[in-house]
Structure 1
Amino acid sequence: MPPKRYRNDVIATAQATGYVLQFWNCLLVGDDLTLISIMDEPECEDLIDAIYDTSNIEEWKNFRHHYRTLRLWSLTYEQQLTTPLHITAGRGFVDCLRHLLQRGASVDLAPGGSTALHEACQNGQPQCVKLLLSHGANSNAVSEDGLMPLHVCTSPESLVCAKHLLQFGAAINGQSLGEDNTPLHVAAQNGLPGHTELYLHYGAALEKRNDDGLTPLNAACSQPQEKGDLERYTKVCELLLTAGADVNTEDQDKQSPLHMACKNINPGVVDHLLAHGACVNTMCYSGNAPMQNVLKVVAYKADHKPERVVRSLLNHGSIRVWPGALPEVLKYCCVSPRTIEVLLNAYDRLKVTDDWVEAVSPEMFKEHKGFYESVFSLQHTPRSLQHLARWKFRNYLDGRVHKVVPQLDLPTFIKNFLLLEFRDYVH
């Protein structure tokens, strides 16, 4: 049903008395008392479902010019077509919203393409969400972008909103139009552990794929992650894996969750994936194993601790870098000396040449002089007996290092040495 439009004669009458702008101002500041007094005026009855068009900014500015005494004017509202219900729901003005609903405001009106419920969820306003739902708002209303309210719960603040939606019958596996994302996909993509746990409790499908062929686990692992987001995404992946998500499900390019987590360099996620049986040497269509994925991005994400990822992969039996490619790897990964250290400790001998020296920039050499001097000294010195013993032991165990070493009756410092603990030099 198309939205009810404002009648011209009503607009003219309300504007003539200055009520339209006063009403708008009350909505913006949450002034419920003045709002009630305006709605009590006979000529302002239809303001409740008024559709404001804020696209013509100059017209609104000229209109404002006649009412200089108003306390606030704002044109920062995102939608061009909006209603009183949308404004109050999105800003969390519960009392104003309640008065509008009690006066009969159309709860599912969507002139701008989405309902007031979408607006409240998107802005993390749980009280407004509950109020709208209790007045009959459709918990599965689809916006013009193909999104249900659960699909716009994308912030940690929207968790309680999601709880209210599910209590009022929101479809836990409802897919968005176009992208085919479920709410669990959305929670995974945005690194929301609270939402993920909630949706799993309500029976969210773990293996449903979206339009890109991604399951929620794939979606979480493939999402670009800033350093401050790593812990949240780690928790999401832990929840999905504990619930039984397939750890080796590949996307359309045959990239597994491990490929993706290595590309984003999230050590916590990598550890969980490996602990749940992720295949460490599977190659994607481009011919890359997880190890290649992490080494390609070390230069851009050195603060993500790529050395932890490389160490975990090697301890689980990852293929090593072809020795002839080590100077190239050194060139692009020299910003992370510990990554270089772990890589080099996977070999029993190294053919260090002048190319290695040239591969490290003067800036990096100066910053990590002690470490790189220890590397370059191997040009004339064999590896130590201590290291050779470690290499022999690890080589014998092959991909079982991570299982066997922790069970050995050995001092902790020896176990750590066998598991390639960082020492910030190579010997």
Structure 2
Amino acid sequence: MIRPPLARAPRLPPRQQRLQEVRAPPPQIRCRDTSIHNTFMFGDMKGVYAVLKDPAMVNALMETVHEEMVWAPEMGMWTLSSKVKQTSGLRLAASRGHTACVEELLFRGAEVNADPGGNTALHDACIGGHSDCVQLLLSHGAEPEVLAADGSAPLHLCTSAQSFHCAKLLLEGGADINVRSRESRLTPLHVAAQRGLEEHIELFLSHGADVLATNREGETPLNAACSGAERPSEAGRYRRVIQKLLDAGANPQTAGRKQHTPLHNACTNCCSRIVDVLLQHGARADVENSAGYTPMDCLLQVVEDYPTQESEAIARSLLNYGAKPVSPKVLKRLTFYPDVLGVMLNSYTSIPPCEWLDSPSPDTLPQEHLPFFCSVRQWSGQPRSLQHLCRCALRQHLGARCYLAVCNLDIPGSVRDYLLLCNNGTLQ
């Protein structure tokens, strides 16, 4: 009896052949092999194929051991302790943006929402700003709102300019624009404002981000932006972010639990352009925080930290929007900052006794400032000119409306500057 020839199976493309070879993964295993760890971290596809010949390696826990010094109270001494950190091949590949490696792992059944060590691969891809990996993970069912062990959603981790497209993909994938972090209650808008990310701010606002949302400390994204503007070189970028938030309805008078307003933060960072924007939108120049400090107090506390900034411009703006003249006792700390001191003294109807002027010797003061200090000594305790008294009376009458009212007067520019304390550091 002649048997018919066996039917030959059709030839499959290489990827489909690999799919038939994929079996149900065995129980999860732990791997501490540094070479395997590096294979996924550096996206070595030849090495990846070799490692994944064992299906159990698809979802293997990658463990690294770090030695740390910890205090042992029962022994009364520091001891060396081993700390194990966990991750996965998918997390390692996604964190470095190795798209081909991520795709291969997902194809072989990697658990897309697994979070060994506290983060998912989606979290790691967003941290690195790897939008191709984010798109790939989302298309394989990654949860766009899953919280990491520290309570952060993927949108909270889009903290760099490179992560803009990641944020956009997350929102297109259904992520909640107002998702809160677990403990701090931050929204993505808080985070983007703190980092001064202009494109992120525009994106989030266009998707309905709540500009009035408060975190656990009662602070809004506007508070976050004003506190984040610490570097003078970034002041312009933060000013544009703050302007966008104000245009979207942010309230510059909203204070956190410590009654610290955005204006307090801007003065602490010595940002004159941001101070002006806040004042123009209704920030109060005379409000006190829970410690009793006004924005002017915050400014004077950091003058020494920002010697090259326009501290006198900020002081002038605050006074022109209703800030009260500081206590004479505070003037002593301005001895080495004549420009700021001049603005302050011109807000007094009379210059108080300045015994503290004897503390700096002429040798320690710049020569260009000596005439100013001579005039201060001359006017100390003496009545000011009638012109100056009229200026003070008008400014007191206008109060917080001083700047806007004077700018709307049909008067010569020199008179306007005089009323607004633009005296170039001289006493008048």
**TM over 0.5, yes or no?**
yes
TM-score, length-scaled by structure 1 = 0.81
Residue 418 of structure 1: CA displacement? 2.7
Displacement, 1:84? 1.7
1:210 is paired with a residue whose SS is coil
Report if aligned partners of 2:339, 2:425 keep a CA contact under 8 Å in 1.
Answer: yes
Alpha-carbon distance in 1 for matches of 2:289, 2:274: 19
Does residue 314 in structure 1 map to residue 319 in structure 2? yes
Q: State the identity %.
A: 38
* Cα distance in 2, alignment partners of residues 302 and 79 from structure 1: 47
Q: Displacement of 1:227 after TM fit?
A: 2.3
2:373 corresponds in structure 1 to 372
The correspondence of residues 306-385 of structure 1 with structure 2, limited to 5 A, is: 306-322=311-327, 325=328, 328-358=329-359, 363-365=364-366, 368-379=369-380, 383=384
Closer/same/farther in 2, CA of residues 371 and 127 from structure 1, 3 Å limit = farther
| Amino acid across the alignment from 1:162 | A
CA distance, structure 2, for counterparts of residue 123 and residue 422 of structure 1 = 50
| Alignment-mate amino acid for residue 104 of structure 1 | G
Deviation of 1:382 (Å): 6.1
For 1:403, the equivalent position in structure 2 comes to: 404
Q: Which moved more, 1:271-280 or 1:171-180?
A: 271-280
Matched residue, 2:14: none
Residue 99, structure 1, aligned to residue 99, structure 2: no
Please name the residue that 2:223 is paired with: 218
1:228 partner letter? S
Pairing partner for 2:266 from 261, 268, 274: 261
Contact 1:298-1:332 at 8 Å conserved across structures: no
Per-residue CA deviation, residues 120-163 of structure 1 (Å, 9 max, x unaligned), is 11122222222211222111111111111011122222222111
Instruction: Give the partner amino acid of 2:198.
Output: P
In structure 1, how many angstroms separate the alpha carbons of the residues matched to 2:361 and 2:187? 46
- Kindly tell me: are residues 298 and 56 of structure 1, through their superposed partners in 2, closer, same or farther at Cα, counting changes over 3 Å? closer
Partner of 1:51: 61
Q: Would the aligned equivalents of 2:350 and 2:382 in 1 still touch at CA under 8 Å?
A: no
What CA distance in whole angstroms lies between the structure 2 residues aligned with 1:5 and 1:147?
Answer: 29
Which moved further from structure 2: 416-425 or 291-300? Answer: 416-425
Deviates more, 1:290-299 or 1:368-377: 368-377
Assess, with a 3 A threshold, how the Cα gap between structure 1 residues 383 and 201 changes in structure 2: closer, same or farther. same
1:157-172 equivalent positions in 2, closer than 5 A:
157-172=162-177
CA distance in 2, matches of 1:4, 1:343: 76
Shift in alpha-carbon separation, 1:100–1:362, aligned structure 2, 3 A = farther
Q: Which residue of 2 aligns with 1:285?
A: 290
> SS at the partner of 1:81?
strand
SS of aligned partner of 1:296? helix
Q: CA offset at residue 315 of structure 1?
A: 0.8
Structure 1 letter corresponding to 2:145: N
Partner of 1:29: 42
Q: How many residues align?
A: 389
Distance between the aligned counterparts of 2:277 and 2:337, measured in 1? 23
Q: Hey, what's the Cα distance between the residues in 2 that align with 1:284 and 1:22? A: 55
Shift, 1:393, TM fit: 4.2
| Equivalent residue letter for 1:146 | G
What is the identity, as a one-letter code, of the residue corresponding to 2:287? T
Aligned-partner Cα distance in 2 for 1:79–1:407: 67
Q: What amino acid does structure 2 have at the position aligned with 1:153? A: C
1:198 aligns with 2:203: yes
For residue 50 of structure 1, what is the amino acid of its counterpart? A
User: How does the TM-score come out when normalised to structure 2?
Assistant: 0.81
Partner of 1:143: 148
Structure 1: tracts of 5 or more residues without a match: 58-77
Larger Rg: 2
Counterpart position of 1:114: 119
1:233 and 2:246 equivalent? no
In structure 2, give the amino acid aligned to 1:213: G
In the alignment, structure 1 residue 249 sits paired with structure 2 residue 254: yes
Gaps of 5+ in 2: 1-24, 68-82
3-state SS of 2:349 partner? coil
Q: CA RMSD in A?
A: 3.0
Write out per-residue CA displacement over residues 391-413 of structure 1, whole angstroms, 9 at most, x where no aligned residue.
45434433322112222333434
Alpha-carbon distance change, 47 to 401 in structure 1, aligned in 2, over 3 angstroms: same
Q: Aligned pair in 2 of structure 1 residues 250, 22: CA closer, same or farther (>3 Å)?
A: closer
- Contact 2:198 / 2:237 at 8 angstroms: preserved in 1? yes
Question: How much does 1:55 deviate?
Answer: 1.3
Alignment match of 2:50 (pick from 38, 49, 72): 38
Query: Match of 1:29, as an amino acid?
Result: F
Pair 353,247 (structure 1): closer, same or farther in 2 beyond 3 Å: closer
